[in-house]
Amino acid sequence: MSTPVLKNRLQSDLTDAIRARDQVRSATLRLALTAVKSQEVAGSSARELSDDEVLAVLRTEVKKRREAAEAFAAAGRPDRAERERAEQQVLESYLPAQLTDDELAGLVAEAVAQAAASGQTGTAAMGRVMGLVRARTGQRAEGGRVAAEVRRQLQG
């Protein structure tokens, strides 16, 4: 099995961030690499994660940062919320480009039409439409965003 390119890039970028004394970037990359290493040793035997698995870990870390930023903002801690958003941006730079809202809406509309053509409409078609859309979007759209758009179009 070849060494994951993404993990090596994270390690290399960490070294560069430390040299540049970029505290936010270096702290964020350290945490991301720790999460990757934790995932590698989870389970019955240690193994090296593939790039897709590393991306999944990074997506989880991005989601954690987004939720933490929202919680800090709601709690009146804008300084901490801003730090979480900065970390989120660092991590997002390693993820594939996300679909725009318009692109996502177009894909969902196609899937809704396809489900309707096979006789499934309304909220009963949610599972079928989600499956069709997820197959087309892959990692370019977060599941929560996809579900919200599917729900909006099926109820509308």
pLDDT at position 73 = 96
The pTM is what? 0.74
Under CATH, what is the fold of the domain 101-155? Arc Repressor Mutant, subunit A (1.10.10)
Percent of the chain whose predicted confidence (pLDDT) is above 70: 97
Domain ranges for the chain? 5-92, 101-155
Asked if residue 3 has pLDDT above 70, the reply is no
Q: What would the mean pLDDT of 5-18 be, rounded to a whole number?
A: 95
Q: Which SS3 state, helix, strand or coil, does residue 71 take?
A: helix
Q: From CA 134, how far away is CA 152, in angstroms rounded?
A: 16
Architecture category of domain 5-92 in CATH: Orthogonal Bundle (1.10)
Closest CA relative to residue 91, chosen from 39, 14, 2: 14
